[in-house]
Structure 1
């Protein structure tokens, strides 16, 4: 009996260890979370150039406050979210409240993520805890003086502007429409960039019940495009197939992605299923026209047009052609391009000054990204060329002044 006792104890110990061991991760759930994280484009904000994925540190310019830096959302237990429970993860995602109780700035699109379903939150949690490599990288404090760094006023902000409720399907709409609405309003958080904001940095509409939802907005030196049915500056002339193709490849016969939208294409939408992209297109095509009206024709100084035509001939015609039609989808058309016709010229000035990162589709960089012209052209040259572009080949939009270019040149510096 004594000789059997050690063996019995060893067996019982083994059984106890086996029972105490955590269950193996559900790889299906982890992979679903990976897909949802791509749909939510988490990498674009939480990954700084040249740094580890999801380790944070990306600089973002916030109105009034100054520069803030995105946080480490890897499962590192010291500097990341490795000690978050699923409930704490859900609270941060949907309510903008960290594990220790401090409020997150609404640059984190938690008003959109408030719509995300419980099942999708569970899948995201599984992915970030089990599918992301932990990185020990401390978070950086905002570049702002006290008292602007105080977080307690954000509790009041949430009381005023956060609608903490899940997406509710519309019974009178199709399954495809509802899926598209869920992706656009929730995970995709399209309104965070494409919806105008109020004086308190709140989105003026969180869904299609508000007329300003996705009507375009200025943000950090760019103008995020109008995504409503506006036929001039929005998607009114785009088919559902045009929208899906743009999200999959970053280009179609109407326009090419540039600026911050390249990150969205590169990190997010190109990896989404064709079914989900089609659903997004169905939803966007259902939005009525909204946005600023275009300027009347015949208001541009002839001397400015002549100067702009010469600059265009010297610097732009090789890619965009004399008729402004480009060679879609490789070289963007300028004639009829909604970004060209948008009354707010921020994006046009920015991309001309600073160029744009290349689209990278299936690992292959686009061959002809827009180059920077800030060192080759004066502010007056850029203003004239863009004014010419906005008022040629049937285009009609307000003139751009050299002062407009000067302001953005100074604002962007070498950060872009």
Structure 2
């Protein structure tokens, strides 16, 4: 009897150890899943700054209302979210409501995050509570001017401009397209930048059932392109751009650099392909205009001959031609095209002006670790010279965009000082 008892006890202990080991494995897998979900949601880009622990907040986000500072979302119990229950965490992410009833500003993209699935939300909560290192960092408080400082007013904004709808799959679409739709409409919150804004600074549409969704807009002086159909890019070029920050036609700039650096470059190949399939599935953009070969050849010939050049043409050869060439085609996967480029032909030239003045640098990613940088010319070129250069680029080859003025350059240059 004693031997049987000892055997039973030992069996029970071994069984219990097996259960613990299994539970630990489940937790580890859930944390790993939650970390990936946080990458899909691009949480690090807004809630982290160099030199501080990840997710400890403090990023200054410029908006039309003023400067909004991101919060500490580490599991620190005093300065972070360590005391949040899972329901409170979900309410903050999906509804923009903190445990004490304080309303978040929609710089936190909860109008899109509301579509995050329960499964993904649970994994995200477990990751932030168990997989993130606590930080006692206290970020600056957001202090907007009246009446925007009255956060209770967000209750009415939410009533007018948000929804409590969960993600709605597209009827008749493939599983891959619907996976892409879910990622773009919820965690990716692509609409927060690529959907036009209404009078209330609200996204005019929150899903693909509305033609305004992902139809383009303006963000901090940059024209944001429409993503509907993307007729100029193939699915592979979309995948390459999101995975590496570059493709055979373009390279990231502006806000997209951080998106690629912190989010899309970590996505699986399957998720990247799903996003590309979904974007190509969307309609709404006109067919790609035919390249004007006669105009292209005329620009190439004049730059090659280098005679009787305008100021803009001369500045192009002196500052840009070595990388983008007389063809304006650049080098595939290295230097972006200028002929027919979206940033070049945007109605608002702010993005192009900013790039000429401040330069640009591609992010280092797992699939493209090298960083290629374009120098800025703010200290080298005057406002008038930048205007002449930008005008030539916007009207050379087959580009047909309006001219740029020195006053427009001056306005962008002022923003660089801040």
Q: Do both proteins adopt the same fold according to a TM-score greater than 0.5, normalized to the shorter chain?
A: yes
Residue 50 to residue 353, structure 1, CA distance change in 2 (3 Å) = farther
- Corresponding residue number in structure 1 for 2:227: 227
Normalised by the length of structure 1, the TM-score is 0.86
Cα contact 1:104–1:151 (8 A) shared by 2: yes
Whether the 8 Å CA contact 2:245–2:362 is kept in 1: the answer is: no
The answer to whether 1:125 aligns with 2:143 is no
Match of 1:176 in 2: 176
Residues 313 and 265 (structure 1), Cα distance of their counterparts in 2 relative to 1, 3 Å cut: same
Most deviating of 390-399 and 68-77: 390-399
CA contact (8 A) 1:196 1:216 kept: yes
Preserved CA contact (<8 Å) 2:231 2:285: no
For residue 33 of structure 2, what is the aligned residue in structure 1?
32
1:401 aligns to 2:408 (yes or no): no
Q: Which residue of 2 aligns with 1:112?
A: 112
Q: What RMSD in Å do the two structures reach over aligned CA positions?
A: 2.3
Runs of 4+ in 1 over 6 A off after TM superposition: 22-25
Query: 2:380 matched to 1:376?
Result: yes
Determine if contact 1:240/1:281 at 8 Å carries over to the other structure.
yes
CA distance in 1: counterparts of 2:224 and 2:118, whole angstroms = 30
Name the CA distance, whole Å, in 1 between partners of 2:362 and 2:235: 25
Aligned with residue 246 of structure 1, among 230, 241, 244: 241
After superposition, the C-alpha distances for 1:29-56 in whole angstroms (9 at most, x for unaligned) are 1101111111111111111233221111
Q: 1:275 aligns with which of 270, 275, 298?
A: 270
Residue matched to 2:3 = none
Contact 1:330 1:366 in 2 (8 A): no
**For each residue in 1:304-336, what CA deviation from the matched residue of structure 2 results, as whole angstroms up to 9, or x when unmatched?**
x82211111111111111111111211111112
* Worse-matched range after superposition: 359-368 or 240-249: 359-368
Which residue in the other structure is 1:3 paired with? Answer: none
| Cα distance in structure 2, aligned partners of 1:73 and 1:155 | 23
Q: What is the aligned residue count?
A: 380
For the Cα contact (< 8 Å) 2:221–2:348, is it kept in 1?
Answer: no
Structure 2 distance, partners of 1:215, 1:370, is: 29
Q: Write the distance in 2 (CA, Å) between the matches of 1:259 and 1:60.
A: 14
Matched, 1:343 2:347: yes
CA distance in 1, matches of 2:162, 2:363: 34
- What is the CA–CA distance in structure 2 between the aligned matches of 1:153 and 1:276, rounded to whole Å? 37
- CA displacement at 1:23 relative to structure 2: 7.7
Q: Which has the higher helix share?
A: 2
Cα deviations across residues 155-188 of structure 1 (Å, max 9, x unaligned)? 0000001111210212311101100000001010
Give the match for residue 56 of structure 1: 57
Instruction: Structure 1: give runs of 5+ residues left out of the alignment.
Output: 1-14, 230-234, 298-304
Q: Which segment is superposed worse, 120-129 or 333-342?
A: 333-342
Identify which range, 208-217 or 82-91, moves more after superposition: 208-217
2:252 is the counterpart of 1:257? yes
Between the aligned partners of 1:62 and 1:160, the Cα distance in structure 2 is 20
User: How far apart, CA to CA, are the structure 1 residues paired with 2:355 and 2:326?
Assistant: 20
Separation in 1, partners of 2:25, 2:78:
24
